[in-house]
Amino acid sequence: MDVRLDGRAGVVTGASRGIGEAIAREILVAGAAGVVLTGRRPETLQPLVDDLEAEFGPRVVAEPGNVRDADHAAVAVATAVRTFGSCDLLVNNAGTNPSAGPLTAVDMDAVDATWDVNQRAPLVWARAAWHGWMAEHGGAIVSIGSVGGLAPGPMIGAYNVSKAALHHLTRQLALELAPRVRVNAIAAAVVRTRLSESLWAADPAGAAAAHPLGRLGEPIDVARAAVFLLSEHASWVSGVILPVDGGLSGAGGVLG
């Protein structure tokens, strides 16, 4: 199955490294007309743009900013439309987890930040994409959720709650934006990224063994699923939370 995104363009949030970087790269591999990459720090975003331009040509633009900022979201969508002619694709990848600990003890400012980035910001970006292009022309949105949003687990409760909310936001938007826009999410397990280091770096072999398929996820695993959900191969798929988790939520059955 040759999954293609020819002629389409869009935005990936939190794209400077890890899963976001992998998704941006796979979108370009799939033939997209272009992609706008967002992230907080221009100094980390621009080197990736330079690298991708060397490989794929002038189909990449950096738009640094804070993912929580609605004006930034509107600018990024407008940049995609102005530069590449459309904003058919949106990937809500940016996420944070500064609030480890039980919910009864974790710092509430950290909880607010976690929920703001992980569940409110994807709505901000969906609204920007809808008003900036998709309401009239259609499109596809994919958000990066977590198996922690499917079932509770220890020590990252605020993060898990934020991802559960993101999953339900996905279903709600899928209902409200149909039939023009498809909205799906990916429930990822432990993927080998800097954000998730606290879950695997101390014992990579043990973390891998906790997954029925016997290994940690890699960013490319999530990226390929995201590109499928963005493509016409998923044209009758919306409101789905797709586990990409090494069998954890299916064959494993236990998430905590």
Distance CA 163, CA 208 (A): 22
Catalytic-labelled residue, pool 84, 133, 159, 200: 159
* % of the chain beyond a pLDDT of 90: 82
Residues of the domain holding 238: 9-245
206 catalytically annotated: no
What's the rounded Cα separation, in Å, for the pair 12 and 39? 9
pLDDT reading at 208 higher than 90: no
Residue 251, pLDDT score: 74
Q: Based on the structure, what is the number of domains in the chain?
A: 1
Report yes or no on 236 lying in a domain: yes
Q: Is the pLDDT of residue 199 over 70?
A: no
In a domain, 250, yes or no: no
Q: Would you say residue 177 lies in a domain?
A: yes
Dihedrals phi, psi of 145, to nearest 5 degrees: -95, -145
Using left for φ > 0, alpha for ψ between -120 and 50, and beta otherwise, residue 239 falls in left
* Residue 82 φ then ψ, to 5°: -65, -40
Residue 131 lies in a domain: yes
Q: Does 128 fall in a domain?
A: yes
Model confidence pLDDT, tens digit, residues 139-166 = 999 999 999 999 998 889 999 999 999 9
Please indicate, yes or no, whether the overall pTM of this predicted structure exceeds 0.85: yes
User: Residue 207: what pLDDT?
Assistant: 80
pLDDT (tens digit, 9 = 90+) per residue, 16-52?
999 999 999 999 999 999 999 999 999 999 999 999 9
pLDDT for residue 255? 53
- Flag whether 185 is in a domain: yes
Radius of gyration of the chain (CA): 17
Measured between alpha carbons, how far is 14 from 41 in angstroms, rounded to an integer?
10
Secondary structure (DSSP) of 46-95: HHHHHHHHHHH-S-EEE----TT-HHHHHHHHHHHHHHHS---EEEE---
CA–CA distance, 212 with 219 (Å, rounded to integer):
18
Report which of residues 118 and 207 the model is more confident about: 118
Would the pLDDT of 253 be above 70?
A: no
Is there a domain that residue 256 lies in?
A: no
> Strand 89-92 vs strand 139-146: parallel, antiparallel, or unpaired?
parallel
125 within domain boundaries: yes
Say whether pLDDT at 125 is over 70: yes
**CATH classification of the domain holding 135:** 3.40.50.720
